[in-house]
């Protein structure tokens, strides 16, 4: 074999390896997409936003429901703020050199308790509103009781923990 034949063989080998690498990456990305779609099919059917659900109600009912639930959300807001604050404090303490497992656990417990208080308030107010509606409106609005709400994940570690929690819960 002469040097030009070796160069051609080397170039073909490199091209083939790059093609195989691209095919492998495409396969992994496609598989993750398929898994995400399958997971989405197993979720409860809340595919519409709260506002879309409420817009389908009679205008007089819609305004009353919207205002009642808005007032409920404002009342629950401090609980959810406390949830975020306690969780930030626990994360900061876990990252610090003064790590105290008992204190971190206590902060996380306080965070969960605040979240449960807020969620309980929202759910109780939602049930109270549902009790005032006609059966058709109640059936349409019952979607608000599903737990799939907006989830905001701000850093990569929380995103991984959230994804792991979702997979464990399925």
Domains of the chain by residue range:
1-42, 48-169
**Predicted TM-score (pTM) of this structure:** 0.56
pLDDT exceeds 60 at position 155: no
Please state the three-class secondary structure of the chain as a single string: CCHHHHHHHHHHHHHHHHHHHHHHHHHHHHHHHHHHHHHHHCCCCCCCCHHHHHHCCCHHHHHHHHHHHHHHHHHHHHHHHHHHHHHHHHHHHHHCCCCCHHHHHHHHHHHHHHHHHHHHHHHHHHHHHHHCCCHHHHHHHHHHHCCCCCCCCCCHHHHHHHHHHHHHHC
Q: Which of 55-64, 115-124, 155-164 has the highest mean pLDDT?
A: 115-124
Please give the mean pLDDT across all residues of the chain.
82
Instruction: Please give the residue that has the higher pLDDT: either 29 or 167.
Output: 29
């Amino acid at each position: 074999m002469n040097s030009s034949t070796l160069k051609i063989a080397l170039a073909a080998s490199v091209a083939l390896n790059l093609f195989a690498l691209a095919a492998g990456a495409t396969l992994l990305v496609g598989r993750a997409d398929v898994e995400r779609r399958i997971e989405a099919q197993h979720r409860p059917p809340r595919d519409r936003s709260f506002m879309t659900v409420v817009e389908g109600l009679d205008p007089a009912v819609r305004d009353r429901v919207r205002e009642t639930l808005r007032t409920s959300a404002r009342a629950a807001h401090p609980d959810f703020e406390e949830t975020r604050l306690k969780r930030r404090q626990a994360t900061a303490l876990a990252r610090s050199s003064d790590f105290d497992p008992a204190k971190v656990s206590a902060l996380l417990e306080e965070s969960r308790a605040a979240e449960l208080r807020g969620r309980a308030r929202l759910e109780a107010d939602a049930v109270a509103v549902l009790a005032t509606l006609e059966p058709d409106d109640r059936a349409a609005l019952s979607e608000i009781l599903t737990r799939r709400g907006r989830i905001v994940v701000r850093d990569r570690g929380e995103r991984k923990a959230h994804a792991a929690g979702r997979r464990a819960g399925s």
